Amino acid sequence: MLTHTLGFPRIGLDRELKRALEAHWNGHLPEDDLRRTARELRLRHWRLQQEQGVDLVPVGDFSLYDHVLDTTAMLGAVPARYGWDGDTVDLRTYFRMARGEGAAPAMEMSKWFDTNYHYLVPEFRPGQTFALSTTKLLDETGEAAAAGVRPKPVLLGPVTYLKLGKPTVEGFDPFELLDALLPVYEELLAGLSGRVEWIQVDEPALVLDLSEREREAFRKAYARLVKAASPAGILLAAYFDSLRENTSLACLPGIRAVHVDLARAPAQLPDVLRHLREDQALSLGIVNGRNIWRVDAEAAAAPIRQAVDAVGAERVLLGTSCSLLHTPVDLARETGLDPEIRPWLAFATQKCGELRLLADIAAGRDAGAALAENRAAWHARRHSARVNRPDVRERLAAVTPEMSRRPTPHAERKTRQQVRLNLPLLPTTTIGSFPQTRDVRRTRGDFKKGRIDDAAYTAAIQGFIKETVDRQHELGLDVLVHGESERNDMVEYFGEQLDGFCFTQHGWVQSYGSRCVKPPIVCGDVSRPAPMTVEWARYAQSLTDRPMKGMLTGPVTILCWSFVRDDQPRSVTCRQIALAIRDEVRDLEEAGLAVIQVDEAALREGLPLRRSDWADYLAWAVDSFKLATSGVRDETQLHTHMCYSEFNDIIDWIAKMDADVISIEASRSGMELLKAFRNFDYPNDIGPGIYDIHSPRVPSVEEMTALLEEALKVIPAERLWINPDCGLKTRDWPEALASLRNMMSAARAVRAGAE
């Protein structure tokens, strides 16, 4: 029974890739040295998987920025604004697409399905042509073979690639480009076919609602691609949900093996077995690639036995549910983890070993000691007092519907808030964080390591806050923020102060490019033992007579950006977090904060992949936000912020959140989200972001003015706010100040015309 992973983390055990990328972008690391680091990481990761017992090692999953961008480069689908000459896509062009340069903005980013990983959105236009423009996958397959690895090339499939892209001309259907696209895929598959046994083609779009045109595109594509790949077999990989009505598509003739995600959708197995052809193998995604809990080996054995009984052991492969990109590299580094909790966990390296354990159990090989250890860890977790707390459950049971409603309509609240805040037309603000300089990070590190005491740390952070407030005064912003110098991450910071969480030292995962996050782990029932932000916010407000925003992360975002316990419904965990945030909101109000922002950057990200599942999720997600925020007085203004959110289909649910002000990332898409507000009379205030903080380029006054003027065509001036796309922690001060000065100039110009 072959084992395989669908992909492995790229960043390295010590975030070597992050450091190499940033050194290269800063001009300190030549391209050859960057490529050398990448080769070393690939080789290390291949051998690591091999040593853990993985038979088929994925190749081509490694990326210098993003695997979808790699596909764009491979296909020569470079947007014209980057001045590419049409030959090989070089590294400079690649990074210009990712990060922007000069007058050429970066390609739009969006969330990879319902994960916290960001991909670069392909751009499609009528008449677009494609050509094989990098040999990355061929080269890396050769590298792996030369290293003695049994390679399984990984390729993003054409249907998912077209489905995830966006047209640059309104009304254009990217699937019209299928005939132009397929010859490049055929050329690549033909180049791989004689060198490997299996080629993994990822089509996670098969877990989405597909139109008949998209389904027909899939049939057409794979009728050709299976021939191009022969004699190698195509292992078609779908993940993140159930295939449902697309099961028959995945089992088309010629596809040699079908991979399904049994961690997310275990109930689909009987239907898949019914559709599987006699000449097809079945890959069971039995080890969860998106969470850090160790596999329950006894429970996992049941579906493996079911598959073996149905098709025979020789036609069953065992794999991770999806790429291990979404998990940290190695639990062995986590020497500081609570010894009670550590045995409950498995990171990417350990998950590879779990595949071998399950294969050994299925084959009847002696796995007694490992199985006994697995069983003991699961028993300990289920019965731990750290996991189940009666007081938290009693409080949640006492929640009433009235606790999730603000009794006064927004229009009346707004009048009272304006009396208190006295804001101008088109008020300006930022989303929350300001640059996390080396001094800021060093101060936090010194405090964490005991090099400075509480008094020195407090004085230093207050100094950073004062600097941030002073600079906002100089810029002329209307509603200020304290800058979040004390926060390592918008989720981790809160998790560190809540009961029911635990933390890693090296548990980094990639968010996009060189950006890595270290998600906290929700290991038990959640509560707030003490205020988390109040003293910093109170100090910041003491420095100004302008409104200061209290800054919090919302319950849905904390849930989505953490590794969440898998022993109870996510909705229950979310409502526990909501009650903890509710306590903090009320304490901020009592401390004198007139404006409180509760960010729900991940609300859209958490949306189920199938439309039929949306209503249930949105009901509990929106209610959790309202439970967290509805305990304040009318004159307290509540803001929220959302990232990369296409709202057209859920705008009525956004309205139900009843935030006084919502800010949304919008600049990379050219205010495309405003379509959602053309046909829906959104009643509250809106701040569509007018510059992209994820790119180092400084947008011009004219560029931001144009975006504001677009916004004013849809949003009345009395309900429009002016702000960046997101927080500024990843930028440096010169970039941030230059962009904010231009933003304020644009605001003054547009404000003068609107008054």
Residue 352 has pLDDT above 90, yes or no: yes
The token duo for 645 is 């959110």
pLDDT at 728: 87
Residue 616 CB neighbours (<10 A):
11
**Predicted confidence (pLDDT) per residue in 186-205, tens digit:** 999 999 999 999 999 999 99
Residue 646 has pLDDT above 70, yes or no: no
The token duo for 580 is 């903890």
pLDDT at 676: 76
Q: How far apart are CA 467 and CA 470, in angstroms?
A: 5
What is the mean pLDDT of the segment spanning 335-342? 93
Three-state DSSP class for residue 64: coil
8 A C-beta contact, residue 113 and residue 209: no
**Predicted confidence (pLDDT) per residue in 411-422, tens digit:** 999 999 999 999
| Res. 754 pLDDT band, cuts 50 70 90 | confident
| Res. 249 pLDDT band, cuts 50 70 90 | very high
pLDDT at 755: 67
**Predicted confidence (pLDDT) per residue in 565-588, tens digit:** 999 999 999 999 999 999 999 999
Residue 645 has pLDDT above 60, yes or no: no
Residue 225 has pLDDT above 60, yes or no: yes
Residues identified as active-site: 694
Residue 626 has pLDDT above 90, yes or no: yes
Residue 181 has pLDDT above 60, yes or no: yes
pLDDT at 680: 83
**Predicted confidence (pLDDT) per residue in 663-707, tens digit:** 888 776 667 777 777 878 888 999 988 888 777 889 899 999 998
pLDDT at 644: 56
- The kind and range of the H/E element at 36 are helix 31-51
Asked if the peptide bond before residue 519 counts as cis, ω within 30 degrees of 0, the response is no
Domains, in order of start, for the chain: 390-399+429-754 (3.20.20.210)
Q: How far apart are CA 24 and CA 34, in angstroms?
A: 7
Residue with tokens 């061929």, as numbered in its chain: 138
pLDDT at 399: 97
* 174-178, 373-377, 447-451, range with greatest mean pLDDT: 174-178
Task: Give me the DSSP letters along 533-588.
Answer: SHHHHHHHHHT-SS-BEEEEE-HHHHHHTSBPPSSS-HHHHHHHHHHHHHHHHHHH
pLDDT at 643: 74
What is the mean pLDDT of the segment spanning 367-372? 87
Residue 546 has pLDDT above 60, yes or no: yes
pLDDT at 651: 86
pLDDT > 90 fraction of the chain, expressed in percent and rounded:
87
Residue 681 CB neighbours (<10 A):
8
Residue 648 has pLDDT above 80, yes or no: no
8 A C-beta contact, residue 13 and residue 331: no
**What's the mean pLDDT when you consider all of the chain?**
94
The b/e string for 120-143 (b: 16+ C-beta within 10 A; e otherwise) is bbbbbeeebebebbbebbbebbeb
Nearest to 625 by CA among 404, 425, 305: 404
Range scoring the smallest mean pLDDT among 415-429, 546-560, 651-665: 651-665
pLDDT at 548: 97
